[in-house]
Copies of this chain bind each other. A is one copy, B any other.
């Protein structure tokens, strides 16, 4: 089960999200976090810049019981929001092409024959096509030299038709991932994992060029559903480079008071219970129970974990880090799995690529 490839590390540093192991974390089937991680160019008002169409989903009603939440909590419909964002991006891509003749381009480098990686790359390509973004793909054999990958990155760095470069992870073990990721031009690092981007994200008064897609998708959901962040207590569960840590930095930038819970935290539920907003990104199925949640809190569940399900033809089903049924009874709003944060990541990757092209061509 653990080998089911539900994780798209994208251009992340391939930090495996470790399952929590303490007794207070009551579910322990060690699984993976499944994310399509890409990046997004961000300026101070970046989140708002996604609302590019004539209308916005910021007035989206919190829909009761839309996806099986029958007992009170509202469902934050990531699928709907992501669809809306993709429509907005498509309109912007079209406007850009019409006005200045430029089409944003995303280059993806895939090394080796992992089926999961091939699927993720295919999905990204399809998503690009659906909004009119050009996609470029390089597929190298497993035994390629690191130098070979660096050569392609260098080519894409210099290619003005490429506005985003994404190295699909994990890379073969003989390659130095950090070297390769560091070779991607900071202006095209659409995954937003470059330390310079993370540093700017952490610092007040600085602006990252790109923000990692999954945490950006989480915040975008909060924004689009009108959830107030400023002055609120927010707890992030998990401290990964690709989700937890940048999510906490984003929440703090929006004036939340943040706490970060991780594997070394004793009694995590005591902390989560104080939160107005919970973002969970640990890859531990149903870990966050109803009694971890403060009544009325908003819960964003980043985990996508396969658990055995004899009823399913595939033999498994997908669940989040949060026990959805219990959360529904306590929270005021919650993201379902699937259909919550999941669809947002790739939408943010497209948005990052669009923003990068706009910046490169000074297109407003």
Contact = CB atoms under 8 A, between A and B. Distances in A.
Interface of A: 13, 15, 194-206, 230-231, 239-241, 245, 249, 252, 255-262, 264-266, 271
Contact of A205 (B13, B252, B271): B13
Contacts of A205: 13, 15, 241
Contact of A255 (B194, B204, B257, B264): B264
B196 A241 contact: no
A240 B13 contact: no
A201 B196 CA distance: 11
A205 B203 CA distance: 20
Given A195-B196, A195-B206, 18 more contacts: A15-B204, A194-B199, A198-B198, A199-B201, A199-B202, A201-B202, A202-B249, A203-B245, A204-B245, A230-B264, A231-B265, A239-B252, A257-B259, A257-B260, A257-B264, A258-B260, A259-B259, A259-B260
Contact of A259 (B241, B258, B266): B258
A288 B274 CA distance: 21
A119 to B, nearest CB: 26
Given A231-B264, A257-B260, A264-B230, A198 B204 contact: no
B245 A202 contact: yes
Contact of A199 (B199, B258, B260, B266): B199
A320 to B, nearest CB: 22
Contact of A203 (B195, B231, B257): B195
B257 A265 contact: yes
B204 A199 contact: no
Give me the 5 closest cross-chain CB pairs, A-B, nearest first. A199-B199, A195-B199, A198-B199, A259-B259, A255-B264
A241 B206 CA distance: 10
Contacts of A262: 252, 255, 257
A206 to B, nearest CB: 6
A12 to B, nearest CB: 11
Given A204-B240, A252-B260, A259-B257, A266 B231 contact: yes
A200 B202 contact: no
A177 to B, nearest CB: 10
Contacts of A239: 204, 252
A293 B204 CA distance: 27
Contacts of A256: 264
A261 B271 contact: no
A258 B235 CA distance: 10
A238 to B, nearest CB: 11
Given A257-B271, A259-B259, A260-B252, A195 B204 contact: no
A239 to B, nearest CB: 7
A273 to B, nearest CB: 12
Contacts of A200: 195, 199
Nearest to A245: B202
Contacts of A203: 13, 195, 198, 241, 245
A259 B13 CA distance: 25
10 contacts: A198-B199, A199-B199, A199-B200, A203-B245, A204-B239, A204-B245, A231-B264, A257-B264, A257-B271, A258-B259
